[in-house]
């Protein structure tokens, strides 16, 4: 008979456990015995898994207090905004205001516009001569971010948006993002100023961003809303252009 698992040196056992899928480690291996529970709850196993999967760097090693959470957050990190560039028409977006001639989707660069900095973005949403706003609500639990994680770790939530005007028309732009509780109470809010783009602008794309941190327990939803209008009140779609919106939960 070969040696029993519990007789293996801890470093060897950690290497064996590191080859097991993370979900199985937490849901199955952790329940085998006290030794395995301590290893799964400890840092060494998750540091090794992060290293094996290329999830570590100098910053991560200094900042990650809970390596298990760091691992899962790194694996889950993605843009939680659906249809950020209008490739699927207005799917997943709710229209809050649809003033003037309403929202429209156009191909980049558009009339009197500029190409987007990334070649992966091909379309944008454009506003009209009265306020147009649209929103999207992200259910954090449905996206895999469990309640204990959001309440205790409170990972940073980074919000980004891109906006641009035309070189022949002025426009206004606003961004408002809220972290909401299960009952839709506002736990934290970011609202940009009303940004005015003059009609003789260079039409370059500009990124705006905000990071929520230390927002307290209870965050279950992120409500993202943006919009604008033109300032010349021309019929059609001469207002602000928006695209490539993103919301990410950071490791």
Q: What is the CATH number of the domain that holds 238?
A: 2.60.120.260
Residues 135, 174 within the same domain: yes
Residues 133, 219 within the same domain: yes
User: Which residue, chain included where needed, has tokens 């604008």?
Assistant: 228
53 lies in a domain?
yes
Q: CA–CA separation, 140 vs 174, rounded Å?
A: 24
- Per the structure, the complete domain to which residue 212 belongs is given by 94-249
180 lies in a domain?
yes
82 lies in a domain?
no
83 lies in a domain?
no
Residues 112, 177 within the same domain: yes
Predicted pLDDT of residue 59: 54
Predicted pLDDT of residue 26: 82
Residues 129, 209 within the same domain: yes
The HSE-up count of residue 61 (CA atoms within 13 Å, CB side) is: 9
Residues 112, 193 within the same domain: yes
Percentage of the chain beyond pLDDT 70 is 93
Predicted pLDDT of residue 58: 45
How do residues 193-210 score in pLDDT, each as one tens digit?
999 999 989 999 999 999
88 lies in a domain?
no
Q: Which residues pair with 88 in a beta bridge?
A: none
Residues 150, 241 within the same domain: yes
Q: What domain count does the chain have? A: 2
40-61 exposure pattern, b = at least 16 Cβ within 10 A, e = fewer:
beeeebbbbbbeeeebbeeeee
86 lies in a domain?
no
- Taking alpha carbons only, the member of 143, 157, 144 closest to residue 216 is 157
Predicted pLDDT of residue 63: 56
Residues 132, 172 within the same domain: yes
> Quick one: 194 exposed, middle or buried, by C-beta within 10 A (0-12, 13-18, 19+)?
exposed
Residues 235, 142 within the same domain: yes
Predicted pLDDT of residue 29: 82
Residue that wins the pLDDT comparison between 134 and 24: 134
DSSP letters for the chain: -PPPGGGS-HHHHHHHHTTS-HHHHHHTGGGT-HHHHHHHHSHHHHHHHHHHTT---HHHHHH-S-HHHHHHHHHH-S--SSSTTSTTTTTT-EEEEE-TT--EEEESS-TT----SSTT--EEEE--SS-EEEEEEEETTTTT--HHIIIII---EEEEEEEE-BTTB-EEEEEEEEEE-TT--EEEEEE---EEE-TT-----EEEEEEE-S--TT--EEEEEEEEEESS--SSS-S-EEEEEEEEE--
- Does 120 score more than 80 pLDDT? yes
Q: What number is the average pLDDT over the span 30-57?
A: 84
Residues 161, 245 within the same domain: yes
pTM of the entire predicted model: 0.84
Residues 236, 118 within the same domain: yes
Residues 52, 107 within the same domain: no
How do residues 171-194 score in pLDDT, each as one tens digit?
999 999 999 999 999 999 999 999
212 lies in a domain?
yes
89 lies in a domain?
no
- Taking alpha carbons only, the member of 135, 137, 112, 115 closest to residue 124 is 115
Residues 191, 99 within the same domain: yes
Q: What is the CATH number of the domain that holds 40?
A: 1.20.1280.50
Length of the chain: 251
């Amino acid at each position: 008979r070969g040696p029993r698992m519990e007789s293996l040196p801890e470093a060897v056992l950690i290497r064996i456990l590191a080859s097991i899928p993370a979900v199985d480690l937490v849901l199955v291996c952790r329940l085998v015995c006290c030794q395995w529970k301590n290893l799964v709850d400890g840092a060494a196993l998750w540091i090794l898994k992060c290293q094996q999967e290329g999830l570590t760097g100098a910053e991560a090693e200094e900042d990650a207090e809970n390596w298990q959470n760091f691992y899962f957050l790194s694996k889950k990190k993605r843009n939680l905004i659906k249809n950020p560039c209008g490739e699927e028409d207005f799917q997943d977006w709710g229209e809050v205001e649809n003033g003037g001639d309403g929202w429209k989707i156009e191909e980049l660069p558009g009339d009197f516009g500029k190409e987007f900095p990334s070649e992966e973005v091909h379309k944008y949403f454009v506003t009209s001569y009265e306020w147009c706003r649209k929103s999207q609500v992200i259910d954090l639990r449905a996206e895999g971010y469990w309640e204990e994680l959001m309440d205790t770790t409170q990972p940073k939530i980074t919000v980004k948006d891109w906006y641009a005007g035309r070189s022949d028309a002025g426009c206004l732009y606003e961004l408002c993002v809220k972290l909401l509780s299960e009952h839709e109470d506002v736990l934290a809010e970011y609202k940009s100023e009303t940004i005015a783009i003059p009609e003789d602008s260079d039409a370059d794309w500009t990124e705006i961003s905000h990071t929520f941190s230390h927002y307290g327990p209870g965050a279950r939803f992120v409500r993202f809303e943006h919009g604008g209008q033109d300032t010349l009140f021309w019929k059609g779609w001469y207002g602000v252009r928006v695209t490539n919106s993103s919301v990410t939960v950071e490791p």
